[in-house]
Structure formats: structure tokens, C-alpha cells
Copies of this chain bind each other. A is one copy, B any other.
Amino acid sequence: VQVSEIGEFGLIKLLTQEFGIAYPPARGTPAPEGLEVGIGDDAVVTSKREGALIWTTDTMVEGNHFTPESTSWRDVGWKALAVNLSDIAAMGGVPHLALVTLTLPPDFETDDALELYRGLHDAANAFDVTLGGGDIVRSPVFSITVALSGWALEAGGPAALLCRDAAKPGDVVAVTGQLGAAAGGVRLIVQGPDFDAPGHPESESLLCGAQHRPQPRVALGQAAVRAGLRCGMDVSDGLIQDLGHIASASGVALHIEAARVPVSNDLRVVFPGDALAMALTGGEDYELILVGPEDVMDNYIGETEKQVTVIGRAEDGEANVTVVDEYGKAMTFERRGWDHLAET
């Protein structure tokens, strides 16, 4: 069944039924937990809260961010919420409520819409997010836009956040997890595996999984704030390019040692020659960059059971990023990351 056959209200009814929500709401139906007014009114209303609010939004467009041939609709739903969760994680916040906007071609299949929503619910359940409705409109191109809010943790007063402008000379620079797996996944999806080389089906599958189902570092972001860290961001466009944002916002030079960068083990197996460059410049890892005093970072790393690796240091000097190899020689790369509008 195509969405144009059942119409906007029919589609909303189908999607809400699947997840046990009464739509349109009948008189006296209680709103879902945490909401004063649920889906079906002019707007959704969340219960009374207090604090500093965090807001972010991110969009995925078919043919640009993914193709249905290589990504399941359920994974598209997961990723659409996950990339927004990563932005809340990158502020050290607690995610709260998501609004979902779909632009759908008239021949979009309702089964695919259901799968998409299952993926959204997977991520919402995994990270305790309330899905609060949104908008569905007709368009020649499929896109999904999620707007996500969260709350800042408080350290006994003002909002405690991970910002890009809080790096200071002498701070150490660290990253969570391993880098490059998502870039490896893209390369496998776009080019296919290298048929001249021996296959590594397990590693290849993990790389594609990293691309399709990124795991936002929500808990590690909050733990960083609790540990006293105040500078960080997520790795979405490529490590070097993203570090450049911290360097320019904070007015510090960032000195990175390539040998210390945690490169994905699976990436090393599948693309041994290019793994380091892919880890440094490939996007969509959704790990966190964290910057702070060495003692604070050491405590944090201990608490996280070494899920975090120090890769360099912030120094006085011109705001830029230098990457050196194991001999201390500056490395250069063809590109530093992604720009979403420039011709590639």
C-alpha cells in the first residue's frame, strides 16, 4: 500500500496503532508518561520540568545520506535519531523529547514507513527518549528530520556542559571508543568488498553495522560532565576537521599523535593500507572528543574502564590542528572531513 492511498491521517493512524498509541485521541485517554498532551493536538506538551534545555536537529535525505538499496528503513530510523542523540551526548546532556518530520513521495510504501518507525522506536527505547509526533508532508524526495531536546546536568548551580570553546593550553585531548569503522562501512557499501583481497566477512559486517547503527555516547558524555570535564564535541564530519572546530572556538593549537589514535580493529583488517587515514578523516563515527586537565581526564578514563584514549594535547599558539607520525613528522591529508553542501 502506498501512502497516497491511505493519506496523511491514515498513515498517522497506522503508525500510532503499531506502537499502542490511541489516535486520534479519545476524550479522557491519558497522555503517555511524561507528557501533558500527546500526539493528535496542535502540539505536544511535556510535563513541567526545570533546568537548562539543549536543542539540536539533524536531517537525512535519500540519495545523499543513504540509499534504500544499501540501508534498511529500520536502520534509517535508528540512525536519524542516533545522530541527534550524539549531539546531546556531545553536550553531556540527558536526551528528552524528539519530533520527527517525514517528507514522503506519494508512492512511498506504508510498510517501509512502519519499518522506519520501528527503527526510531528502537533508538528511543535504547536511550529513553519520548517520541512526540511531528509532521508528514509530500515531497518528490524522502527525508527525515529529527529535532531533539535534552536537559543539561547541573553541578550545583549553572548548567554543566561540554562546549567547543573550553579547551585550555596544557589540556589533554582524548577520544572515546575507536575511529574509522563507519568510514570503512561507507567504503564497503559504495565500492563493495575488494574481491582481489581475501574476504573478512565478520569484520566487513561490523564495519557496515557501525555505519548503519551508530551508537551515540550518551552515557560517556554525561560521565564526562560529572567527572568535571567541560570541553567536548562528537566526531561527525571527521576527526581532524572536528578538532579544528575546538581549536578555533577555544583559540588553542591541538597537537595530535597519530600513533595514539585508536583505529578500529576491523578497519585495520579490511583496509590495512588506509585504516589510519580513514580513522583521522572519515566521518560518522559519533564518538566523542573530550579535552581537559590531565588529572581530571585520568580520573574519568579510570571510571570509564578505559573506553577513552588520550591522543594529544592543547597548546598555546595559533588555532589549528597538527597531526604527527611516530617520528614526530607532521602528516598531511587529502581532505580533513566532510562539507555537506560543497561539490565533492
Contacts and interface: CB of A to CB of B under 8 A. Distances in A.
A189 B147 CA distance: 33
Interface in A75-109: 87-88, 90-91, 93, 97, 99, 101, 103-104, 106
A318 to B, nearest CB: 14
Given A341-B7, A341-B138, A46 B57 contact: no
Contacts of A317: none
Interface stretch (A118-126, A158-166, A199-207, A305-313): A158-166
Contact of A91 (B26, B28, B41): B41
B145 A61 contact: no
Interface stretch (A66-74, A129-137, A173-181, A296-304): A129-137
A99 B57 contact: yes
Contacts of A25: 164-165, 249
Contacts of A24: 245, 248-249
A315 interface: no
Interface string A321-344: 000000000000000000111110
A66 B39 CA distance: 27
B339 A7 contact: yes
Interface stretch (A48-56, A258-266, A276-284): A48-56
Contacts of A145: 57, 59, 101, 135, 145, 147
Interface of A: 3-9, 11, 24-29, 36-37, 40-61, 63-65, 87-88, 90-91, 93, 97, 99, 101, 103-104, 106, 132, 134-141, 143, 145, 147, 149-150, 152, 158-159, 161-165, 233-234, 245, 248-251, 339-343
